[in-house]
Structure formats: structure tokens, C-alpha cells
Structure 1
Amino acid sequence: MEKDNSMTINRAAGAAAISTRATDIGAEHGVVVSERIWDMGTDFGHEYAHRLDLSTVTNTVRLYFSDLDLRAFGNKSRKERVEDRLQRAIAQLVVRTPSPMYRY
């Protein structure tokens, strides 16, 4: 029972750290992440047990994480992997004005 409680705490801490990092990465790219909604799965053996929806006023992007991603977020290689995924997700939320197709 104590081990389950410890894993739950580690999982919650990892989710909070990932959420904070997503907001920080968004700010670096001029994106205001208005919502970070987690759906914490119950099948921890599933490759993508947990879901995170990052939303701006106009767009939403969905990411999936394994239980290990959350529990071991402090691990250097795991953190780099997760941050890379966050960077790609935030890039999808960046608003770009289309350039004109023709010049006069």
C-alpha cells in the first residue's frame, strides 16, 4: 500500500511538472496555454495511459504519456524526451499568419 501511495505522489508530481513545463515552453513561443487538462488513466501498463490536453483560446492539442513518463520525469533522458514532445505540441498551437501567394 505504501508503494502505491508513493507512486501516486510521483505520478502527480510528474504531471504537475509536465504541465508547468508546457506553460513555460508556450510562453517562450508567445503562446498562452489557457488550460492543461489531464486524464489520468487507470491501465498503467498501457503504453499511453495518461492524456494531456493543452488549450489556447482558439486551439487544442492532445498528448499521450506513459506512466513511466510521469513517474520518472526527473530522469534526464526521460525529461528530454517529454520536453521534445511538448515543443512539438506547442508548435502546433503557434498562430501563423499565412503569407500571400502572389506579389504585385
Structure 2
Amino acid sequence: MSDTIIERSAGAAAISAKALSIALALEVEIADCVWDIGADLTHEHAHRLELVTAAKSVRVYFRELELTTAGNASRSKRIDERLQRAIAQLQQRAPAPTYGYN
């Protein structure tokens, strides 16, 4: 197994752990984290993480560099922000009323 594959796996695991941590803080129960590690590493969205809850799912895309250097501070901050936005979409919200009383 090459070092890049090991780094990619470690990066994917770190990002999954971070997603679960953010979800816990937002009170979102993630049922599954499914990675699709792409083969075309030149593609902007080479790797996809699907976060699945009982009711819905959301996909988050990552570049090769984000997986192989997930520990980089500035890159880590951008990954965290992207995960927070994605997980916020999974939060269960009560439907807004379509009418109001005055």
C-alpha cells in the first residue's frame, strides 16, 4: 500500500471523526459516514463524503490535498466550516407556520 493511500485513509478517518463531533454538538444523529474515494485525483471534487441520518443525507466533496493533509491548520478550518454547513442541513426543523395571528 502506498503512503498516499495511507494518508488518504487517515485523512478520511479524521474528517469523519470531525463530522461526527460537529454533528454531536449540533444534536444531529449521523447514522453513517460513507466515503467514495475517487480515482481521478486531478478532479476538483475527487472524494465524496455522504453523511446519512435517519431522515436525509448530504454530500460533501473534498480535494485530494484536503484528504492527504487534513491536519494542516488553515485547511482544517475550511474543512470544519464546510462540515458545519453540511451538518446544519441535516438538522430537523419544525415546519414554519404558513399563517400567523395578529
Q: Report the TM-score when normalising by structure 2.
A: 0.94
Q: Does 1:15 align with 2:8?
A: no
Q: Give % identity.
A: 47
Give the aligned CA root-mean-square deviation in angstroms.
1.2
Paired residues in the alignment total 101
5+ unaligned residues in a row in structure 2: which ranges?
none
1:98 pairs, out of 83, 95, 99, with 95
| Cα distance in 2, alignment partners of residues 6 and 57 from structure 1 | 35
Question: 1:48-97: CA deviations, max 9, x gaps?
Answer: 10011001000100111100010010000010011100000000000110
1:67 pairs, out of 51, 64, 80, with 64
5+ unaligned residues in a row in structure 1: which ranges?
none
Instruction: State the AA in 1 paired with 2:26.
Output: H
Name the SS of the counterpart of 1:42 in structure 2: coil
Q: Report the TM-score when normalising by structure 1.
A: 0.92
Which structure shows the bigger proportion of residues in helix conformation? 1
| Cα distance in 2, alignment partners of residues 11 and 92 from structure 1 | 26
Q: CA deviation at 1:36?
A: 0.4
1:25 pairs, out of 14, 22, 26, with 22
